[in-house]
Structure 1
Amino acid sequence: MHYKLRDLLSPGLVLALLLGVGQLSAQSTGNIRGTVSDSTGAAIPDASVTVTNTQTAQTRSTQTTNSGVFVFPNLPIGRYELQVSKPGFSSQTREGTELLTGQTIGLDITLAVGSQTQSFTVEADTQQIQTTTSTVAQSIDEKQMQDLPLNGRNPLQLTTLTPGARLTNTGTESGQQDNQGLTVNGLRATQNNFQLDGALYVDRFFDSVPILPSPDALQEFTIQAANYSAAYAGAGALVQLSSRSGTNKIHGSAFEFFRNTVLDANNYFPVKSPTGAIILPPYKLNQFGGTVGGPIRRDKTFFFFSAEDLQQRSSPNPATLTLPTAAQVAGDFSSLCTSGTFSSTTGICTKGVQIFNPATGKPYPGNIITTPMDALSKAVYNQYLAATPGVLNPNSPTTNTFTSLTNANIDSTQYLIRIDHALTDNNHLSGRYFYNQDNFQRAFTAPLGFYAANLFRNQSLTLSDTHIFSPTLTATGYVTGGRFARTQIPEAPGLKTLQSLGQNVPLGTFNVPIFPGVRDNISGYVDVFSGGALTQDSTSFEFKGEVVKLVGANTFTLGGALERTRIDATDFSYVPGDNTFNGQRTQAPSGTILPAGVTSGNAYADFYTGYESSFFQDNGRKFYLREWRPSLFFQDDWKLTHDLTLNIGLRWDPWIPPIDKNNTLVGFLPGFKSTIAPGAPVGLQFNGDPGSHPAVFKNNYLDLAPRFGFAYNVHGAGKTVVRGAFGIFYGFPEGLLYQRTDAAQPVNLYLNLVNPPQWDNVYANFAGGSPFPRGSVSRSQFATYNFITPFSGGVLNPAAKVAYTEDYNLTVEQQLPWNFALSIAYVGNHALHVMGSRQFNPAVYAPGATVANEQSRRLYPGLGAVELADSYEYANYNSLQVNVTRRVTHNLTLLTNLVYSKVFDNNSSATEGNSGPPNPFNLASAYGPADFDQKIRFNASINYFLPKLQVNKFAGAVVNGWQANSIIFVQTGMPFTILSGTDRSLSGIGNDYADAVPGVSPARPSGASRLTKYFNPAAFVQAATGTFGDTSRNFLRGPGYTDVDASLFKDVFPERRIHGQFRAEAFNLFNHTNLNNPGATVSSTGSFGHITGANSPRVFQFGAKVLF
């Protein structure tokens, strides 16, 4: 991909010049701020203050203002010594001040009257509470980063040690192996801002963090969870990671970590062989690498380099699929009727599932289909399902469910190089380059041998410069570029396409990369999916800078940034068509009264007859987004009194939505008639139409984000602090939200056929047959283009608003004896106008409504099932957060917190393909606990160096040098919703809630196993026809979760310059069974109320390090 020079350089140079940033060369920084006073508390102006980094010997000096205030902004993280002097007073040296990423340390220095030649040395407190900022934050230091047990050595796992943070897959598609989404204080994972060495590190396609550097390459990180400075963008958490740097001493390591299954436990639901023997899924992992850092020129120039390789061969997640029984293959579905009896008058089953003839609407007598299986269905069955894949799963509540092992082979390489240079005492430069390549095999329908080779290649380069113009004026500038690319190539040996098996469906486009693939989803049984060829390429450049000026008791910071993002993506997964059978076609016709305890429809019966519920196809999704993100900010940290600091800021975050260079984005305005494309259905708006905008969404230049906070140092002793803040934070949608709009007409073609004719010829009702294959339509052809109706795909709401979050918190922090600190905080937020997708064109129910007349009942008859990207979502979060910490003291480091919280929203996912609330006429009806809501969560991390025993040298080599570490999680269960399982509302959307049976408790019946009846299945039935269900969203909760990870280290010759370390690590040490949520779909009678899966059992990992 190519950028024009003016696109990349001019804005950054202009910004740098405006901000007074000189040579731009990546720094991880914090701030030291404080006051100097005499014994009476009077400010001492013009005192000399010098800080020295004890690892690099680099110094920085300043003088106190008339208010006795001094500030060292943007200091590289590390260990510092601080010296203060003033004629007429004794000098003071404070040693051992540890500055962490993003941290602002408050130091109050008191000088005694005396000679300047008199000097006093003070050891800095091991534990410090925050006295100068109102931000809610948590830091993870180097020892915790490198010593705490990490499964897969992914540092992202440590973010969960922050109060209010947890990892989730809800509402995310990270696209990066082993990286889940991070939700902090109830906010979406896509709203976070990740920085690596002070610069942007986010894949804008997913708005998620790519692969992180190895723990050995990172110095530390800080999560600013709420109400951070106006200097930073984002509506969620700010995660600041810092790479390690060189020092005046050569230092480094070599390491290898190893895993296999020899000592591992088996899953609570194990895989078994045909003879019943338990099979432990294979797993082998080798993770090895090294680091080295040191001086290039002592006290001036330093380097650091790290490299790591990972090789994994495993089958961690056994795949299951349910096949039809031999009787069902022959058309006999009588086993669905659990009572075994049928009404003599209606022919309908008296209890269980009744299937109906999709052509006549009559019940099949005895649930037996006497006609032969549809010819295409028979061919697909013989090709893919006739041979039993895997072994019978005795744990499944449904019959004929098979389990097989899936490959998950991963080969990953990464390296990082960093250079730091002190050009002069007043000019510090830094540069860092990080590269990662991930090759992994993604399983689709694994038992059929369908996989896809995925290649991720991530690159990030950051240059920074900090220039000190005077003791009270400092400027810092950054230039950063990141490219995050993915390619997926299907691997399906022996594949036969549906076209070759008899489906009269041409491919969607003329040139299909690799091969067209196959997709046939039989809900509740098997999804025959080979994957598809796709590419995703996200590139971002950011230019930013800030100027810090100290005036009296005020520290003013002014700055801004300009980001340019380019996203190019293609997806050919649906070029051959996507077929779904979900039981809807063999459901009872509208108006049919079924006996209590009877549901209707079966997905495999649909498949047997050849009638599918939906078919969609496109000619390949291709979109090319271009986006600018400018911002400006002003921040004043005002030490109003000796004990009270105010943090006041204002940020300008205008929303300039991305445009697509091919004009594929389509808007929707009710009643609008396009002039650019006169043949378009009413409501569609294109670029060039009256009132339109190239991005559809309108630019919003009035996004001002005020932020206010305070930190009150009670009694002025730094032992008790009260902090509070309120702020507004803006968030913009990720690139993935636009993916479905790129396939829309007229540029491309996306068709979604609901309840089409039999699947061997889904285009039978189309005049002229299938409109495929076809290429892309140019803009010059819009005026004469004949739209195919009903229009399908995705559209944007031009009136959508900018998402923002109101953050508020109040914290009391207390220093305790023995270097403990206690923090009790209320943290809350309110998110408004959050962007998400939803189905906005439902079919309106009326007497006589049927599946067949669905399209004629839609609100906008010219449109079919269409997703609208709109700012309709909102959320509320409230929490009590209790945090106890202890930095290294007497060999013990402790970090523990307990959170009681509630987060409610009306939709927890923004990803495309999300249909939104099931009742489109009442979006508030979906308001309830978020999918990632956790009422109570406790976590703790412990690092403990066992005391050294005074024994002889030989015995000491054995009993000394041991270290134990642990991470503990205990949390309540996740919420879930009881669904009907079919489109009971006949709205064309589905996902309808269930109805509650009056007078029947949903609690598990007395004496029943929670594996087979986690709740009472008799308490729920499918929603009444034409309704959306009378239960609510996420009103039940699944099993809780408990996990203890632990490690034990042995240092070998720790007193020597080159020494070794052996490690043993256990994850889920006590092999606690953490069950998954139960089946919650009424129509899935076999699994409804059953728990059929569990989280990982105990696994071991061993490692060795050589350190120097």
Structure 2
Amino acid sequence: MSVRPWCCALVTLVCVVAICSPAQAQVSGRITGTVVDASGGIIVGASITLMNERTSDVRTTESNDAGIFVFPNVPPSSYSVLVEAEGFTSFAKTNLVVSASQSLALGNLQLSVGDVTDTVTVAATGASVETDTSGQNAILTTEQLGGLMSKGRDIVSLITVLPGVSQNASSDSLGENWGTGTPNMQGLRSHWNTFQLDGQPGNDIDVLNFFTMSVSMDAIEEVSVKSNTYLAEDGRLPGANVNIVSKSGTQQFRGSGYYFKRHERFNANNFFNNRLGIPKPLTRYDTFGVTLGGPAYIPGRLNRNRDKLFFFVSREDWRIKLPGPILQATLPTELERRGDFSQSVDQNGQLIQAIDPTTGKPFPGNIIPADRIHPIGQSLLSLLPLPNLLDTGITEGAFNYRDQEIVNQPKAQTQLKIDWKPTERDRISFRPRWWSSDRQGQFQSTAFGANFLFQQHHYEYVTNAYAGSYNRIISPTIVNEFNVGYSEAKELGTLNDEFQLENVRRDRHGLDSLGQLFLNANPLNLIPRMFFGGLPNAANVDFDPRTPIAAGDERVWITNNLTWVANNHTLKFGVYYELNNASEGPRASAVGRHMGTFDFGRDANNPFDSNHPFANALLGNFRSYAESSGLSSGRAQIHTFEWFAQDSWKVTPRLTIDYGARFYSFIPWRLRDDEGAAFALSRYDAANVPELYVPALDPDGRRVARNPVTGELAPEPLIGAFAPGSGDRFAGVVVGGDSSYPEGFRERPAVQIAPRAGFAYDLFGNGKTAVRGGFGVHKQTIFSSQASMWTTTTAPPILESPTIFYSNLDSFLSAGQVFFPTDYQSFDLNFDKVPTIYRWSFGVQQDIGFGTVLDVTYVGSEGRNLRQSRNINTLAPGVRFLESSQDATTGRPLPDNFLRPNPGFQNISFSEETGFSNYHALQVGVNRRYTAGLQLGVAYTWSKAMGISDQDNGSLPIYRDVRSYLYGKLGYDQTHVFVFNYLWDLPNAQLFAGNRVTRLLFHDWGVAGITTMASGTPLGIDLFRTDGVDRHGGGDPPRVNVIADPILPRGERSFERWFNTDAFAAPGVGDFGNAPRDVFRGPGIHNWDFALLKHFPIGGARLQLRWEVYNLFNHTQWEDVDNDARFDAAGRQVNGQFGQVISARAPRQMQFSLRLEF
């Protein structure tokens, strides 16, 4: 049952009846302070008034017995604090900027003896030292979001300016195709980071390291990044917590309209394009957007004072044109379609003889008689376009067709935020959002694939989200927050407008009589897949197993948090529930597909082969046919329930201790329709596995297959297929819905406990220096649905894929069908080890003047019980060399499926929690918030990330020691990362300042920039052999031998030789090599992005012209290095590009924009 109807009703009900303020548990901040007199003595019972300077919202509290006051759950905004006490002059502090997840410590607020009606007012400026929170919390401010450059206008790419963030996230356009890839943060796997929009989870549930809740940067107020947190309120995933806070309406109307333009004419060309004489590729990005926010009111009737109801709405549209891949194919000529192969030659100009299978001799004149041409086979060939490039002087006979499509991709993002304050104690917020991306093209759709232009599709990715909350101020010291949200992400492979489904229907192409093995498997009557092997760049017609795609995920998210300020304790208790429904949509087996698959390729052993794939099709003969028995719904579900209790204890005005624990209870992925099958080793018995067809020789000495049970001979391709009736093909297979086995093929884990503690100490009591640290345990309870379930949903017997060999279009439906061993997924039944991350840090923050804060922190983490996988059906080392493993018909080893540890199956991927990792870093940050026209940020990280896998389900060895084989620097490790970002409003010219022309030309200029310098990432050496000789007989993949230092001194590295290519040797027989996983580092990053902007005042509005340059100096930055070591039979390395740079990062690119703000 879909969750959509009832959860949408729930969201609507909550929004109408009681949904919270702009702040939520995940996106609110806190303000603390101590009221003292002139001598430093505490003042008890002082009245403190907090006012939101944008909405005039007011809250009050009193100082407690220690003179301390706390305002919990404060929405991000700008505030003023007024302190009043009988017998003292009032004190006010304004321009207090509170960010999401921030604890703003005001320190000692000193009152002087005097009249309470007198007020001393101080304006806050610059960044503040965090003296009363233990975790690391970084902020991207409104000014940074509006001023710094992001080529794709995607917020994820700007996160790389913060300490501890790898430089492996960039985006060319908002949301990319189906979400933005997120970076590795704090040395952890990228899919462990939680990305939220106003507290609502935005990670894709299929691929967790993609953020799919795309949002216009002009609709974002700020971004809060909890890189290391020791508060129990932070959960869901064990990595960094990124909160994107959207803008709210204020008492004043504010809005903008903007346009951004990118075009290839503004760009430099890539180094390698210049080298090869290739022109700049088509690059067209046009972005349009508008925003409007303010009070929702009707003069004299609704919201008269403009302080109760607010709105903010934004809309952004993209128009993108990019080139598709260059397609090259060998297609049937006009003559060949009529059966005339008299002009069909190979690449050497030699005639390819069309053989008559009935005589074994060439057709006369190399022309198939008209009465021998099969009408369906001819119709299949007619689906292919005619060649468009017959000049062999250009093609050298390798292809006769070349083309390239232009891909269009319109995008649209709309969001609305409504904030309502019905009473002084209640806050309401409702936030609907809509996002869509439509990739229009053949290769952009994932639905249809071919090496020629044939059928364009739409691939639409749609994300709709609805969230609301209720925030109740029960008393000045107790606040309750309730949040609820629903989101859906849909993949749609539609065929509409000019992309008509009829173009790929059988009945439109004279294929009505072409039957299928499973009549209900292809309800849309799609044409079959076709392959024509045996020709260079052979034509192929392919489909995605999900064609047409109709996939979708749903997420329901509910939280409730209660904050209670009790004297010096800020207690917080909360619950979190998340339900995810995931579906890849109806899909077929990857082997045959639901529309069927014909292979017309050459095969000398096929008695019906004509020696030419197009001739085979015309005769109606094929090498093989496979078909999926149907479509699996592929629907899965996961529940997670978490709760926590924490205390922020103000031990003294200078010392704060955070401590608490988070509890996790979750149900791992389950199949919603029981349509899944997995391998269970505990139920496997090799004695029950069927026999396989074995190699044999027929009386004429030809290699064939033999049924070991009956002795019957069969065509050679059946070698390795199951012998019918000889055993149980599903021995050891567990099917969903089996009441004797756990749902989802795993036991439910026990409740997990994650304690956390941290401290913050105001070293000198002046709010200028803070010593902070902590330790916390974090659990991973949400996993990728794609990696957890999808292989099971198409495994036999859920879907079968019978294969037919050597047959004809007239008779294949009645021909004999065979089945082969296939791949399966398997799981550790006892889910007693949950992935756990232990994280700690210790650091100092120092106010260094000029509104600037320096942060120096040591950060560490250990990962244990991380999810990995092993192929438990990997051949043992040397097994192919055994006498019993030899094929008497060839003198070579038998196919691998005869030699596996678990016969009857191919690869078996066994998921388990055995991985480990660690991270150590020195992180330095310098932050000056935008003050007096200047903002500065410096992030430096010196780190080492070690482990055995970059992501979940990384494959582990079976026969080699895991630590010695895989442990090393992780693929995203960068030893040094330095990022400098700045915004500067240039001083106005003073000379002739009163002259209007001078003001127009020389006033209101600004610059912005991001400079990045980073080490390269670790790379290994891949081993290849040119002679095809097996020297290991099975086992885990071998590696090269390292015989010298592979690292060249910096001065000796060059384009042609990035590392010491003489440092490697081929391993011998039985030698699996000694190379580690990381052998050298790839090229680093040295990049300067720059923007120049000019403002023109227009009444109460402002017009901005902006010029952005990415890679300002057009510095060629190498990116990839050829690390493929290819050895010949004599052990010589023969890859001429080995060690050579083979790609470069983007050259200089420009973007222009025009913006009107009011």
TM class, shorter-chain normalised? Answer: 0.7 to 0.9
Are the equivalent residues in 2 in contact too, given 1:851–1:986 (CA < 8 A)?
no
Cα deviation code 1:266-318 (max 9, x no counterpart) = 0111179xxx7541211222100101111112011111111111001123x86
Report the CA distance between 1:612 and its aligned residue: 13
Aligned-partner SS, 1:658: strand
CA contact (8 A) 1:743 1:750 kept: no
Residue 1102 of structure 2 corresponds to which residue in structure 1?
A: 1059
Tell me by how many angstroms 1:615 deviates.
Answer: 11
Whole-angstrom CA distance in 2 between matches of 1:322 and 1:642: 75
Q: Deviations over 1:853-878 (max 9, x none)?
A: 41222121132112222223222111
- How far is 1:988 from its partner? 9.9
CA contact (8 A) 1:89 1:114 kept: yes
What's 1:875 paired with?
917
1:70 corresponding residue in structure 2: 69
Q: Please, which of 465, 474, 481 is the counterpart of residue 486 of structure 2?
A: 481
Aligned to 2:966: 926
Match of 2:1014 in 1: 971
Residue from 305, 313, 320 that aligns with 1:312: 320
User: Which of 546, 553, 557 is matched with 2:568 structurally?
Assistant: 553
Distance in 1, matches of 2:139 and 2:504, equals: 51
* Residues 529 and 598, structure 2, Cα contact 8 Å, conserved in 1: no
Residue in 2 aligned with 1:824? 856
CA drift of 1:137 comes to 2.0
After superposition, the Cα gap between the structure-2 partners of 1:993 and 1:452, relative to the gap in structure 1 and judged at 3 Å, is farther
SS in 2 for 1:159: helix
Asked if the contact 2:589–2:794 (Cα under 8 Å) also holds between the matched residues in 1, the reply is no
Q: Counterparts of 1:735-884 in structure 2 under 5 Å?
A: 735-737=785-787, 738-749=789-800, 769-770=816-817, 790-800=821-831, 801-844=833-876, 845-846=878-879, 847-848=881-882, 852-884=894-926
Corresponding residue number in structure 2 for 1:128: 128
CA contact (8 A) 1:506 1:770 kept: no
Taking structure 1 as reference, are residues 859 and 658 closer, same or farther at Cα in structure 2, changes over 3 Å only? Answer: same
Q: What is the Cα deviation at residue 25 of structure 1?
A: 7.4
Q: Is 1:946 equivalent to 2:973 in the alignment? A: no
Say whether 1:712 aligns with 2:757: no
SS of alignment partner, residue 269 of structure 1:
helix
Which residue identity does 2:44 align to in structure 1? P
Cα separation, partners in 2 of 1:1025 and 1:492, compared to 1, 3 Å: farther
* 1:251 paired residue number: 254
SS in structure 2 of the partner of residue 862 of structure 1: coil
Deviation of 1:948 (Å): 2.1
CA distance in 2, matches of 1:616, 1:1023: 42
Residue in structure 1 matched with residue 192 of structure 2 by the alignment: 191
The aligned counterpart of 1:338 is: none
The 8 Å contact of residues 966 and 1046 in structure 1, kept in 2 or not, is answered as yes
**TM-score, normalization: structure 2?**
0.77
**Matched AA of 2:308:** K
CA shift at 1:684, angstroms?
Answer: 3.5
SS of equivalent to 1:262: helix
Q: CA deviation at 1:745?
A: 2.3
Equivalent residue number for residue 1092 of structure 1: 1142
Q: Does residue 1:574 correspond to 2:595, yes or no? A: no
Distance 1:523 1:68 in 2: 85
Contact 1:163 1:883 in 2 (8 A): yes
CA offsets 1:177-209 (integer angstroms, 9 cap, x no match): 461232111212221112211222232222231
- Is 2:1125 the partner of 1:1079? no
Q: Does 1:420 align with 2:381?
A: no
- Give the CA deviation at 1:560: 0.5
Hey, what's the Cα distance between the residues in 2 that align with 1:569 and 1:1069? Answer: 42
Matches within 5 A, 1:217-232: 217-232=219-234
8 Å CA contact 2:678–2:824 kept in 1: the answer is no
Contact 1:643 1:713 in 2 (8 A): yes
1:929 shift after superposition: 1.7
Match of 2:975 in 1: 935
Q: Which stretch shifts more, 824-833 or 788-797?
A: 788-797
Match of 2:309 in 1: 301
* SS of equivalent residue, structure 2 residue 88: coil
What residue number does 2:152 align with? Answer: 152
- For 1:124 and 1:545, the matched residues in 2 are separated by 33
Matched letter for residue 267 of structure 2: D
Give the superposition deviation at 1:433: 0.9
Aligned-residue offset at 1:1091 = 2.7
2:770 is matched with which residue?
721
- Deviation track 1:596-620 (CA, whole Å, cap 9, x = no partner) reads xxxxxxxxxxxxxxx9999997855
After TM superposition, the structure 1 = structure 2 runs for residues 186-585 of structure 1, keeping only pairs within 5 Å, are 186-207=187-208, 208-233=210-235, 234-270=237-273, 278-296=278-296, 297=303, 298-315=306-323, 407-441=406-440, 442-443=443-444, 448-449=452-453, 453-488=458-493, 510-511=521-522, 516-517=528-529, 530=542, 532=544, 533=547, 534-570=549-585, 571-572=587-588, 574=590, 576=592
Deviates more, 1:29-38 or 1:1007-1016: 1007-1016
Q: Alpha-carbon deviations, 1:949-987, whole Å to 9, x = none? A: 331232011101011011111111122221124798789
The alpha carbon displacement at 1:1051 in A equals: 0.3
**Residue identity in the other structure for 2:569:** N
Is the 2:678–2:826 contact (alpha carbons within 8 Å) kept by the matching residues of 1? yes
Work out which of the residue numbers 1011, 1036, 1039 in structure 2 matches 1:994.
1039
Any stretches of 5+ residues in structure 2 without a counterpart? 297-302, 332-344, 350-376, 604-621, 690-726, 886-891, 1127-1133
Q: Is the 8 A contact 1:192 1:237 kept in 2?
A: yes
Aligned Cα RMSD in Å? Answer: 4.6
Q: Say which SS state the counterpart of residue 285 (structure 2) adopts.
A: strand
| C-alpha distance in structure 2 between counterparts of 1:266 and 1:741, whole Å | 46
Alignment correspondent of 1:30: 29
Q: 1:1107 to 1:64 in 2, by over 3 A?
A: same
Return the index of the structure with the highest Cα Rg.
2
Q: Aligned-pair distance for 1:540?
A: 0.6
Distance 1:495 1:536, change over 3 A: closer
Please state how far the C-alpha of 1:1009 moved relative to its aligned partner. 8.1
Q: Deviation at 1:842?
A: 0.5
**What are the Cα deviations for residues 431-481 of structure 1, in whole angstroms up to 9, with x where unaligned?**
111101111144477863376531011111111121111111111111111
> What is the CA–CA distance in structure 2 between the aligned matches of 1:1009 and 1:389, rounded to whole Å?
44
Cα 1:908–1:521, aligned 2, differ >3 Å: closer, same or farther? farther
SS at match of 2:1001: helix
Q: Is the 8 A contact 1:681 1:863 kept in 2?
A: no
Q: Distance in 2 between matches of 1:80 and 1:389?
A: 73
Q: Deviations over 1:879-918 (max 9, x none)?
A: 111111111233210111111111122122337xx6x135
Alpha-carbon distance change, 744 to 46 in structure 1, aligned in 2, over 3 angstroms: same
- In structure 2, the CA distance between the partners of 1:511 and 1:496, relative to structure 1 (3 Å rule), is closer
TM-score for the superposition, normalised by structure 1? 0.80
The letter of the residue matching 1:870 is: E
Q: Distance in 2 between matches of 1:804 and 1:469?
A: 37
Conservation of the 8 A alpha-carbon contact between 2:624 and 2:806 = no
Q: Indicate the residue corresponding to 1:699 in structure 2.
A: 748
Taking a change above 3 Å as real, the CA distance of residues 886 and 1038 of structure 1, as seen in their structure-2 partners, is same
Answer with 809-818 or 1018-1027: which moved more. Answer: 1018-1027
> Aligned with 1:35: secondary structure?
strand
- The one-letter amino acid paired with 1:1099 is Q
For 2:29 and 2:1093, the matched residues in 1 are separated by 31
Shift of 1:723: 0.8
